Amino acid sequence: MVPDSVAERAAFLREKIEYHNHRYYVLDDPEISDQEFDVLFRELAAIEAEHPELDDPNSPTKRVGGEPAEGFIPYEHALRLYSLDNAMDLDAWYAFHERVAKGVGTSDVAYWADPKMDGLALEVIYENGRYVRGATRGDGLVGEDVTGNMRTVMNLPMTLHGGDVPELIEVRGEVIMSNKDFAALNARQEEKGDKVFANPRNAAAGTIRQLDPKVAASRPLRFMAYGVGRVQWAGRGADWATQQELMEGLRGLGFAIPPDVKLCASAREVADYFQKLMAMRATLPFEIDGMVAKVNDRGMQEALGYTSRAPRWALALKFPAHQTRTRLNAIRIQVGRTGVLTPVAELEPVELAGVVVSNATLHNKGYIAERDLRVGDTVLIQRAGDVIPQVLSADLEQRPDNAEPFTFPDTCPVCESPAVEDGERVVCTNPACPAKTVQRLIHFVSKAGLDMEGVGKQWVRKLAEDGVLNTPADLFTLKKTDLLKYERMGDKSAENFIKAIQKAKEVAPLWRLIAGLGIRHIGEQAARALAARFKDLDALFASTLDELTELDGIGGIMAESILDFRVDASNRAMIEQFKEAGLHPEGGPAAAASDDAPLAGKVFLFTGTLPVTRDEAHAMVEARGGVPVKSISKKVDYLVAGEKAGSKVAKAEKLGIEVIDFAAFKALLEGKTAARQKSLLDF
Ligand code: IVH
């Protein structure tokens, strides 16, 4: 028997974690830090491990993916999932509106406009507020049961929110991958030598149809609700009289709905909004291929009904395709920080979706061979997501007679050392290849590494090419005079450059340093996992293969890669140089728990204008074991108020939270006690 109190605690934790998942993934407005979240999560996981009787497939701990499946079981939808008729221009839109007006007997029709998301259509089913099933659209009548994989979609509620939930609800929507997540996934795939996806839609579809839910869990998908199938409420009839109410209802139940939805009072407003949305297209975080306009009044929707394939009350207004043709002028080979030779297409500049495109990635040797792309070809290119465009195919009819198949080089174009095949990749064999040095340095200062704002990529390249910088450690001994030798470097820029490096040295948390080293297969996620386990770089590099692979998120290939990195004497020397320069951030469980960390467990909130950015301030707190948060609550220990601090100061005062200025914060970082800042409160 599980004691009541334990069962209650588990229920409490599940609700709390679901709540914070919603704040993070749906509202994009977290209330607690990742560390605070981890504490809740770990407590729940520990209870569940000790009390298997409390098992619940919808527990937040199950969202990391269950056992692999052998195949997908067909699922017959209770109500058909219709398709949509398309309009390729506004004339077709107005013609649709005429038909609607005729059907409902008035031209005074309001429409609800959604972005048309380019993902995979899906239905999720809830009984008495609990998630019970997810199924793909399939042919509209029968889809595939993907219940397990949909659990790993973090913005999907496992329990519906609010006191008033339907007995049964079938929610329809689109599963998508954001452009950013898509680019990151492809970069990971490419680094691992795995297949890259052509666009976010394919990545989303491929992920949902993964037989191993753990793989699905490792690829961030989102569900955006846009409609419903069956909805049954206990003891009452139809709710939600309009599409707008329906969407607000879905949001209230905990679903994410697409951004930039709009109620339009007339057909004209729909047309205007279509133009606006088209202009916004490139700035949206995910791919959309048009707009869907729906008659807002659900009574009218019912009166209009359906054709055999689509509703008569909704229309997809499509954007022109993000594809075009141009000439492949040359294939250039770039060498990356791990020595991989990446082919890049040099294209005849052409406009595509509002930007001029002159380069496109060709991924690897196999990609060119499979498509038989030849210099001189007319190629079809497309922009998918917010990434560099891709070359899809060559137009054989337009191929010039003298076009030769492309021969991939077997020497490095930078240092001329032999280049060898390694899976799908071709790599330069020279460990000291100058291209690697440059790319490693650029990676080290970039957002993926120490994030040194003010240290320009072009300058790093120049300094590396001139031999001023050879390894990342050289950055820390760089002097202003080294920079001022360059005519184009002004006094102020040189000063900012040096300051940015010094600042990074002070604030960089251990995970950034690990990620910045550019160890193969070790990106941000892995670096964070390592920094949470090891006290510092020395401890990390003293670890054994077993210790590494025991960690969540660190696989055998990653562990070996870490050990390979350590074997290299020049890497070990670099780490010593970091320490000598004073770059020695500490991590490990001790950073959060022990008293050695001056801010251990203390919760900080920042407000007003500060001498550093918010990200930097948060990093300073994290580096010393503290917990940065973004909103005020009783849990906050210190409110650090800069200039023009707003209402948070008064709120903090009310909650009895200590308010300090930046100088006092700096003193705290050094382990001194903060003096309460009266002056700020006296305003
Ligand atoms: S409404 C009965 N709204 O477009 C209404 N569909 O071409 C049918 N889609 O299979 C769908 N965004 O996958 C609707 N905001 C949106 C949509 C949307 C994308 C997809 C959906 C559907 C396809 C039809």
Report the pLDDT value the prediction gives residue 1, as an integer from 0 to 100: 64
Q: In this model, does residue 680 exceed pLDDT 60? A: no
Q: Could you tell me the pLDDT band of residue 175, with boundaries at 50, 70 and 90?
A: very high
Q: In this model, does residue 195 exceed pLDDT 90? A: no
Return the H-helix or E-strand segment holding 638. strand 638-641
DSSP 3-state of 333: strand
Q: In this model, does residue 378 exceed pLDDT 50? A: yes
Q: What angle do CA 80, 84, 86 make, to 5 degrees?
A: 165
pLDDT tens digits, one per residue of 512-563: 999 999 998 898 888 988 998 899 999 999 999 999 988 877 888 889 999 9
Q: Which of 514, 508, 603, 606 has the alpha carbon at shortest distance from 553?
A: 514
Which of 82, 96, 116 to mutate for ligand 1's pocket (most ligand atoms within 8 Å of CB)?
116
Cα 526 to Cα 339, 522, 584: the distances in Å are 21, 6, 19
- % of the chain with per-residue pLDDT over 70: 95
CB 114 within 8 A of CB 226: yes
Report the pLDDT value the prediction gives residue 70, as an integer from 0 to 100: 77
Beta bridge partners of 297: 242
Report the pLDDT value the prediction gives residue 677, as an integer from 0 to 100: 35
Average pLDDT over residues 415-440: 92
Q: Residue whose CA is closest, atom 7 of ligand 1?
A: 84
Q: Is 34 annotated as a binding residue?
A: yes
Where residue 625 falls (left for φ over 0; alpha for ψ -120 to 50; beta otherwise) is left
Chain centre to alpha carbon of residue 274: 27
Domains plus CATH for the chain? 4-64 (1.10.287.610), 86-318 (3.30.470.30), 322-420 (2.40.50.140), 434-581 (1.10.150.20), 590-681 (3.40.50.10190)
Contacts of 451 (CB under 8 A, 6+ apart): 445, 504, 508, 512, 615
CB 587 within 8 A of CB 594: no
Q: In this model, does residue 495 exceed pLDDT 60? A: yes
Residues constituting the chain: 683
| C-alpha 290 – ligand 1 centre gap (Å) | 10
Alpha carbon distance 328, 375 (integer Å): 5
Report the pLDDT value the prediction gives residue 540, as an integer from 0 to 100: 93
Q: Which of 217, 215, 57, 225 has the alpha carbon at shortest distance from 152?
A: 217
| C-alpha 117 – ligand 1 centre gap (Å) | 8
Q: Which of 139, 124, 286 has the alpha carbon at shortest distance from 201?
A: 286
| C-alpha 226 – ligand 1 centre gap (Å) | 8
Alpha carbon distance 487, 477 (integer Å): 21
Q: In this model, does residue 385 exceed pLDDT 70? A: no
Report the pLDDT value the prediction gives residue 556, as an integer from 0 to 100: 86
Q: Which of 16, 62, 102, 116 is catalytic?
A: 116
Contacts of 488 (CB under 8 A, 6+ apart): none
Q: Residue whose CA is closest, atom 23 of ligand 1?
A: 83
Alpha carbon distance 179, 384 (integer Å): 8
Chain centre to alpha carbon of residue 329: 34
Q: What angle do CA 64, 142, 296 make, to 5 degrees?
A: 85
Q: Could you tell me the pLDDT band of residue 672, with boundaries at 50, 70 and 90?
A: low
Average pLDDT over residues 612-626: 80
Q: Residue whose CA is closest, atom 2 of ligand 1?
A: 82
| C-alpha 259 – ligand 1 centre gap (Å) | 15
Q: Which of 138, 134, 180, 140 has the alpha carbon at shortest distance from 156?
A: 134
DSSP 3-state of 227: strand
Report the pLDDT value the prediction gives residue 287, as an integer from 0 to 100: 87
Ranges assigned E (strand) in 200-340 = 222-232, 262-264, 288-295, 314-318, 323-335
116 classed as catalytic: yes
CB 242 within 8 A of CB 272: no
Alpha carbon distance 205, 200 (integer Å): 9
Atom of ligand 1 nearest to the CA of 306: 2
Average pLDDT over residues 480-491: 90
Average pLDDT over residues 366-385: 89
Ligand 1 environment, Cβ below 6 A: 82-84, 114, 116-117, 121, 137, 174, 226-227, 292, 311, 314, 316
Average pLDDT over residues 442-454: 91
Residue in the block written with tokens 């008569």 = 312
Q: Are strands 419-422 and 390-394 parallel, antiparallel or unpaired?
A: unpaired
pLDDT tens digits, one per residue of 237-288: 768 999 999 999 999 999 999 999 999 999 999 999 999 998 888 788 898 9
